Chain A
Amino acid sequence: MTTRQTQTTCCYCGAGCQLLFTTDIEANKILDVHPVKGRTNDDKACLKGWFGWDFLNDPQILTKRLRAPMIRKGGKHSPLEVVGWDEAIKFVADNLAKIKAKWGPDSIMGAASARGPGNEPNYLMQKFMRACVGTNNIDHCARICHAASVAGSRQTIGEGAMSLSIPEIEDAQVIFNIGYNAAASHPVVARRIVKAREKGAFIICADPRITETARISQLHLPLKGGTNLALTNGLAYVIIDEGLEDKAFIEAHTKDYEAFKEIVLSYPPEKVSEITGLRPDDIRLAARRYAGSRSSVILWGMGVTQFSQGVEVVKSLCSLAMLTGNFGRPSTGTGPVRGQNNVQGTCDMGVLPDVFPGYQSVADPEMRAKFAKAWGVKALPTEPGLQLTRVPEKVVHEKDPAKRIHAYYIFGEDPAQSDPDLAELRETLEAIDFVVVQDVFFNKTALYADAILPATSWGEHEGVYTSSDRGFQRIRKVVEPFGDIKDDWEIICLISTAMGYPMKYKNTEEIWNEMINLSPKFAGATYEKIERQGSVQWPCFDKGPADKGTMYLHKGGQFATPDGRGIFKTSHYHPPTEVENNEFPLTLCTVREVGHYSARTMTGNCRTLRNLEDEPGWVEMSPRDCQALGLSANELVRITSKRGSVITRCLPTERVRPGAVYMTYQWWIGACNELTISSLDPTSRTPEYKYCAAKVEKIEDQASAEKEVRRVYTDIRSSMGIAQEGLSA
């Protein structure tokens, strides 16, 4: 037996942990996986890092790996047929070309992947959409998670990423943690919070639930869901009212302070208390502690961004950090911690409707000229493209066929599981003329695909991921792929070439070099440097060894805005779009299950992770609400909103407030996105996953409900193409 050791970056969450694989080369088999020392993880990993590689073995628990291209030769609703690559590529290229000729380039939408593929295929995907198709309609799932952080941060401090690094968190003196449950989202980041607490940090945790961070915090602010902006404005009020602001920093490094002040001065703690349900003195204490340290860090997650006021709260958080001079030194600043392994990278690569790689605006004629020249095209589209959450609006709600989306090329995403209001999304996919799914697994979106292009998975290809704290790190091939499948970047090149815009690369490094040479912020981060350092954090301008990258942003108060000044911004608070009422008396919020990831195609196909938590998932409820409905633990319940109804299991817990219920979003049976609302933030177009009205009902006949859950599970597996066999649910 010949064995090989390969170090790679974990494919789950943005923490960027380093894992060492030992493989048996002849048998192409993984023998051992364990974490090794990396910049962000030391030598630690969570359960997904330790045990989440099992899907590479394709055990076919929830769905199965795609092994050959498939197309619907007879049009919509005809069966998927396995074909060779030549035929599949021609089919996709011809159909896209036909639609482009008939309806124009803006009738085609592209969604790229924040997950396994890595940066290089994403760079090519946006290049394909912009240079070959001729549209800026390119987006990815950052839209449904941290798009609000990117938008809000760029409008205030100029850079849409964590200003500090993950390791710096443990040396903060104050951590203001808002809408962020690190223990479920990024256990390796939670470790830094635990360490900070042990080193004496004061932790303020604003969250309606008692999360693990709330549990170890000195000050828990259990605010009512959806009232973040009232709280953050209230904190700014106290800071200004008590003269705790950093006047010198404001004067030297920021602008628009007066306009900000005018808004926040209408949020005295007593008024904020009425909105949030918090004690005025707790709001004052939080403000004093946050403003009272030179190493205050703000960490936030989906509990900030997945609201229709997400962008406003992000701006207000960045403004709080400016107000107190908490930028530009180690262990201070703002930390929107990114959920997916490469969601930062996919943003970096310009897989957004308004920017080229390196956050260079499509609206800027100079940038357009630079990219047009490099890509060998006469001109590039001038108008920002469509956000993916607006696809339903541009299909089922658009009366004029000339303005509709007619083709959707979806690469490494599963909108039919992850987007809000799934019934509407299914109707949308059904109505689009031509849907291409390029993925590793058969998934719910693939059911609506006219063409399915099978790609290699993480562990089967090379490339670079960007961790949440701007760290470029290598991913490496661990095992040889099998089946008639190709690397994502190769597939995109083939389609583009077939459509008359030839793309040809030898390997991912060649793609990477083209990208960094067009993106000043990334220009110095060569493969060689990434290999040598293990991780290179952008910005890294120079290829020479002296430029090692940037640990924290905004050094010396120099912001990444055009004039270098941070811009104060906030808005007035308004309540969420859909509030509880007589028919739907509970508020539903969607949350994360620590051992599962995204649409669960990967972790749902890992034996041990599936055994730890499986369908139909849970609804967390307060014991008081459970008692009122006569519910006990583990019982199946029906949960319903205006948009849909699903079955899940009841989990009574004192950690949630009466009136609020929480569902983890990874389940296919207890699919909470059948219930969520597609109400969007007006700027970021991020959906309000964190708030809608719902009701929970008791199911009298538990035995038949259990049977129903098993039947649905079997049906799902069969629709994913797995042969019928028993599965203990």
Chain B
Amino acid sequence: MNSFIKANPSRCIGCRTCLISCVVAHEGRDLFELGYDDYKFNPRLFMVKTSMVTAPVHCRHCETPACKSACASGAISLEGERVMVNANKCIGCKNCVLACPFGAMDIVETGQVLPDGQPRRVALKCDLCAGVADSPACVRVCLTDALELVTDQELRDEIADKRRAAVEGGYFPASI
């Protein structure tokens, strides 16, 4: 199974340290030397606050990604334990944005300029910090431990624990 990041709303305080850490991880620390408008502030997770819930929304790295099925240019693929967007192939058609049931996909300006002078816009989402950090930056900086990387093994262990608890908890009568 693919890995994904789980948010715990009873711990999240909505501070958005995770959003900035995502930008810094992907833009690189050089951004602190660039002109203040010479980098892109495009977090790949989104803080949501409703009346009683606070939590960031990330890509779930679905096993059958609706975004991938909907992609018109073959830009979305499964790589290792992740769903990835290839920005070079993306044409910005927004099918993935419509298809994603979580709202985890965004369309952003890349900083590149098209031949007609228009800014190039592509799909962007969580890549679990593939190639930019050893572990997801958002998980590392979260000060209330509200974010957790869930891997295939952890998910299997959790399922196994629950099944054991179900048996021991007497959900099944000993004799019928």
Determine whether the beta carbon of B52 is less than 8 Å from that of A595: no
Determine whether the beta carbon of A612 is less than 8 Å from that of B143: no
Q: Which residues of B contact A611 (CB under 8 A)?
A: 23, 41
Q: Which residues of B contact A198 (CB under 8 A)?
A: 10-11
Instruction: Report how many residues on chain B are interfacial, defined by Cβ distance under 8 Å.
Output: 32
Assess whether B51 is interfacial by the CB under 8 Å rule. Answer: yes
Q: Which residues of A contact B35 (CB under 8 A)?
A: 59
Determine whether the beta carbon of B37 is less than 8 Å from that of A726: yes
Q: For the complex, give the distance between the alpha carbons of A171 and B35 in Å.
A: 46
Chain B positions 10 through 29: 1 when the CB is less than 8 Å from some CB of chain A, otherwise 0: 11111111011101100001
Assess whether B110 is interfacial by the CB under 8 Å rule. Answer: no
Assess whether A447 is interfacial by the CB under 8 Å rule. Answer: no
Binds B, one of A186-194, A234-242, A361-369: A186-194
Assess whether A727 is interfacial by the CB under 8 Å rule. Answer: yes
Determine whether the beta carbon of A57 is less than 8 Å from that of B37: no
Q: For the complex, give the distance between the alpha carbons of A607 and B24 in Å.
A: 11
Closest Cβ–Cβ distance, residue B9 to chain A (whole Å):
8
Q: Which residues of A contact B11 (CB under 8 A)?
A: 194, 198
Q: For the complex, give the distance between the alpha carbons of A609 and B19 in Å.
A: 10
Q: For the complex, give the distance between the alpha carbons of A210 and B24 in Å.
A: 31
Closest Cβ–Cβ distance, residue A716 to chain B (whole Å):
15
Chain A interface, >50% SS class: helix
Assess whether A50 is interfacial by the CB under 8 Å rule. Answer: yes
Determine whether the beta carbon of B16 is less than 8 Å from that of A655: no
Binds B, one of A39-47, A304-312, A341-349, A676-684: A39-47
Chain A positions 182 through 220: 1 when the CB is less than 8 Å from some CB of chain B, otherwise 0: 110001101100100110000000000010100110000
Q: For the complex, give the distance between the alpha carbons of A57 and B49 in Å.
A: 33
Determine whether the beta carbon of B10 is less than 8 Å from that of A197: yes
Assess whether B50 is interfacial by the CB under 8 Å rule. Answer: yes
**Candidates B19, B50, B144; contact of A654 at CB < 8 Å:** B50
- Residues 32-68 of A contacting B (Cβ, < 8 Å): 32, 44-47, 50-51, 54, 57, 59, 61
Assess whether B32 is interfacial by the CB under 8 Å rule. Answer: yes
Determine whether the beta carbon of B51 is less than 8 Å from that of A610: no
Assess whether B95 is interfacial by the CB under 8 Å rule. Answer: no
| A57-B32, A190-B144, A655-B49 as given contacts; A216 in contact with B14, CB under 8 Å | no
Assess whether B36 is interfacial by the CB under 8 Å rule. Answer: yes
| A51-B24, A57-B33, A653-B49 as given contacts; A45 in contact with B16, CB under 8 Å | no
Closest Cβ–Cβ distance, residue B119 to chain A (whole Å):
12
Q: For the complex, give the distance between the alpha carbons of A182 and B17 in Å.
A: 15
Assess whether A594 is interfacial by the CB under 8 Å rule. Answer: yes
Assess whether B70 is interfacial by the CB under 8 Å rule. Answer: no
**Candidates B21, B31, B52, B143; contact of A210 at CB < 8 Å:** B52
Assess whether B54 is interfacial by the CB under 8 Å rule. Answer: yes
Closest Cβ–Cβ distance, residue B133 to chain A (whole Å):
13
**Candidates B21, B39, B54, B143; contact of A191 at CB < 8 Å:** B143
Determine whether the beta carbon of B15 is less than 8 Å from that of A187: yes
The chain B residue sitting closest to A42, CB to CB, is B143
Closest Cβ–Cβ distance, residue A711 to chain B (whole Å):
17
Determine whether the beta carbon of B36 is less than 8 Å from that of A183: no
Assess whether A627 is interfacial by the CB under 8 Å rule. Answer: no
Determine whether the beta carbon of A50 is less than 8 Å from that of B49: no
Chain A positions 701 through 712: 1 when the CB is less than 8 Å from some CB of chain B, otherwise 0: 000000000000
Assess whether B90 is interfacial by the CB under 8 Å rule. Answer: no
Assess whether A724 is interfacial by the CB under 8 Å rule. Answer: no
| A183-B15, A594-B16, A608-B24 as given contacts; A215 in contact with B32, CB under 8 Å | no
Q: Which residues of B contact A44 (CB under 8 A)?
A: 143
The chain B residue sitting closest to A193, CB to CB, is B13
Q: Which residues of B contact A54 (CB under 8 A)?
A: 32
**Candidates A46, A57, A727; contact of B17 at CB < 8 Å:** A46
Assess whether A728 is interfacial by the CB under 8 Å rule. Answer: yes
- Can you name 29 A-B residue pairings with CB atoms under 8 Å? A32-B29, A46-B15, A46-B143, A50-B17, A50-B141, A51-B17, A57-B32, A57-B33, A61-B36, A183-B13, A183-B15, A191-B144, A194-B10, A194-B13, A198-B10, A212-B12, A212-B13, A215-B53, A215-B54, A595-B20, A607-B39, A608-B24, A608-B41, A609-B20, A611-B41, A612-B19, A612-B20, A654-B50, A728-B37
Q: Kindly list 10 other residue pairs between chains A and B, CB separation below 8 angstroms, not including A32-B29, A594-B15.
A: A47-B16, A50-B141, A191-B13, A594-B16, A607-B32, A608-B23, A608-B41, A610-B36, A612-B19, A726-B37
